[in-house]
Chains A and B, each alone.
Chain A
């Protein structure tokens, strides 16, 4: 199993994308990587999606302002800098609309209930807007490195699919059907459907209601002007992700479900020809005394309890047994992953007993990611 060379990646890449299922420490990993790169001398921006409140505060992210701000407290002696921003999905979408449309059309679209629904809650919008923002940040050329956190999607795979799904929708046959009346009169429905116009409108009206149909055609008509723009941008960002300057870091926790997702994701990136740097397994537990097995440790504790002697030693032995049990399960899960993906570079990060919510904590994670924990202990 190769080891992930985090510093090499942080020193040379232009874009690092952190992905993985929800609740595995993705945002923290992204922030720790970005901080480490900045303190190694690069000008870095980290794009976060939904950071924990106090982590956000430590990064100076007190408001969703959708533009990067410099993070205070970063060691800039190596010539680097860290900026951070939190994605405002709806605002990003609104900005695209405003940039790609006439003011009147833009206003009509922004007021349309379908647009409001799509821009604030479409399951792919957040992913798509994260990609859009990444493209925008990259286009400015202001940063050496952009670290992107990805949305907490129900499945890590949504992240790759979302841009194309939105694209498919915008480009789809349904849309053309709905646009058809404006262009060629009602007969277009029948042609596209290969069935009667009556059935189509009957079903749509029954399911959705007439008002909804009106809003929908307005929405579609307004959106049509921006078609080309959307498609082109989605494709451009997708290309950017496949560039040599980009690395994907898959983040997981030592849980069966999270590692299963990680496994799918690694395979998927491979299939798409996307550059995978490696897997980060957060929250691993280890023991320095594995020679003392769970069984012997528990037996010893029981022995002491029976004689009502040395309660502290008994408690410590029980704590040890629980830790070894946890550590060996985690090791087993990780081994299952590595045997299925022997070529995927990997780094383990020891579980911290407290939450990370300041730069010192992020620095510590950075040390663990780069495996210079000896140095950290010395300091």
Chain B
């Protein structure tokens, strides 16, 4: 099975955290919940409260539902009357799709309300626009910037020198985090900023901008900008959350990502497990199902009792589906142990069989709040 050869890491679990123990299938009452807050709160790293950071960076492997989780986190943070900015930097307009709005311009606009009078604004950050804005803001050079655009200098700066591009993108995020607004109680334009960040494989390079531009710019304005970004990325102000599925590749990337972020001293947040399948079979039934030995007669009797026709084909199909479910749950249990061994706070949101829509974002926001990921 999937965990073969990796059991050594599981040993840490018992001593450190209990987040996931007992999930394997003893949830036999058929409610299928498995997401009650009591078991997600315990943490082994000394940090015990909700993430009240100013900047939340959400990363994850492609296909893990990073944008959905970032959107849910933004709504969760905004709940109770706060104002939150949700940003993306990869030019894919994923936020607009998630919130069912027209493509976002390079301009902050409100995309959602949160319970209790909260507001979620969104911004798709574009590196070229950010460079022009930067030139204008610091040097009053927008026109010159446009001229540079014509000869490809902007293209160069933002595409070929990736460190410079990332400084511009993260620089804009930093600006939003620090932006003052005297008319608001907090004195700040946003109470929190959520960044739907590049995938796990690139996140450390993306955030560690000072190191990335160090070779290119030892001093000067780009370097200064990079250093000011790093100032926002301190543990008390920011947290990098990783979204994963309970599958081999995403978990492996999450484990690697956590190690890499820790190595360069970037502030680690929680791990959000997406698309978790609540176990619907008891432990013993699971074992039987995986061996193809579920009691066919009992299934047939139950189906008949419920008023359905228990044809052999139907019973066989149902037993096969139960075996698939049990296999999947077993895989998820093994992968969950890998995640638990990281010693990070873990939060879970379930698989949405009907597909993710705006309702899912609000439901996930509630689940994240119930698990005290945010206050």
* Residues of A participating in the B interface, judged by any CB pair closer than 8 Å: 21-24, 50, 52-54, 113-114, 116-118, 121-124, 152, 154-155, 165, 169, 172-174, 177, 192-193, 195, 199-200, 202-204, 206-212, 215, 253, 255-258, 287-289, 291-292, 296, 300-301, 303-305, 307, 309-320, 322-323, 325-326, 329, 333, 353-355, 357
Contact = CB atoms under 8 A, between A and B. Distances in A.
A200 B298 CA distance: 81
Given A154-B90, A204-B153, A206-B141, A312 B321 contact: no
A174 B317 CA distance: 64
A258 B65 CA distance: 11
Contacts of B282: 311, 315
Contacts of B162: 117, 121-123
A325 B277 CA distance: 14
B262 interface: no
B153 to A, nearest CB: 5
A114 B298 contact: no
B302 A313 contact: yes
Interface residues of B, number: 90
Contact of B221 (A207, A303, A311): A207
B314 A316 contact: no
B33 interface: no
Nearest to B153: A174
Contacts, number: 239
B306 A304 contact: yes
A253 B90 CA distance: 21
B84 to A, nearest CB: 23
B298 A312 contact: yes
Given A195-B144, A355-B249, 13 more contacts: A123-B159, A152-B201, A169-B152, A174-B155, A296-B308, A312-B294, A313-B299, A314-B306, A319-B321, A319-B325, A323-B324, A329-B354, A329-B355
Given A177-B151, A315-B281, A316-B299, A310 B141 contact: no
Contact of B63 (A116, A258, A301, A317): A258
9 contacts: A195-B144, A203-B141, A203-B144, A207-B222, A303-B306, A304-B302, A310-B301, A319-B321, A320-B321
Question: Chain A interface secondary structure, helix, strand, loop or mixed?
Answer: helix
A152 B253 CA distance: 13
Contacts of A165: 159
Given A193-B151, A203-B148, A312-B294, A209 B219 contact: yes
Contacts of B147: 193, 195, 199
A256 B65 CA distance: 11
A300 B306 contact: yes
Interface string B296-309: 00110111011110
Given A211-B218, A212-B222, A312-B295, A155 B321 contact: no
Contacts of A116: 215
B344 interface: no
Contacts of A155: 92
A118 B160 CA distance: 6
A300 B63 contact: no
B313 to A, nearest CB: 7
B308 to A, nearest CB: 6
Contacts of A195: 144, 147
B322 A319 contact: yes
A209 B157 CA distance: 12
A183 to B, nearest CB: 16
A52 B280 CA distance: 29
Interface string B170-208: 000000000000000000000000000011010001000
B135 A300 contact: no
Contacts of B219: 209, 211
A333 B152 CA distance: 40
B327 A354 contact: yes
Nearest to B156: A174
Contacts of B354: 325, 329
Interface in B136-168: 138-139, 141, 144-145, 147-148, 151-153, 155-157, 159-164
Interface string B319-362: 11110110110010000000000000000000101111000000
Given A169-B160, A255-B63, A300-B303, A52 B249 contact: yes
A157 B343 CA distance: 38
Given A211-B220, A354-B327, A355-B249, A206 B281 contact: no
A126 to B, nearest CB: 11
Contacts of B139: 203, 206
Contact of B318 (A124, A193, A204, A317): A317
Nearest to A21: B62
B223 interface: yes
A310 B280 CA distance: 14
Contacts of A114: 161, 216
B321 A354 contact: no
**Which 10 pairs between the two chains have the least Cβ-Cβ distance?**
A313-B302, A23-B63, A209-B220, A22-B62, A310-B302, A353-B327, A300-B306, A289-B317, A23-B62, A288-B317
B302 A212 contact: no
Nearest to B299: A313
Contacts of B305: 304, 307, 309-310, 313
A114 B162 CA distance: 10
Contacts of B308: 292, 296, 300
B64 interface: yes
A207 B63 CA distance: 36
Given A354-B327, A355-B2, A52 B252 contact: yes
Interface string B65-99: 00000000000000000000000001110100100
B40 to A, nearest CB: 22
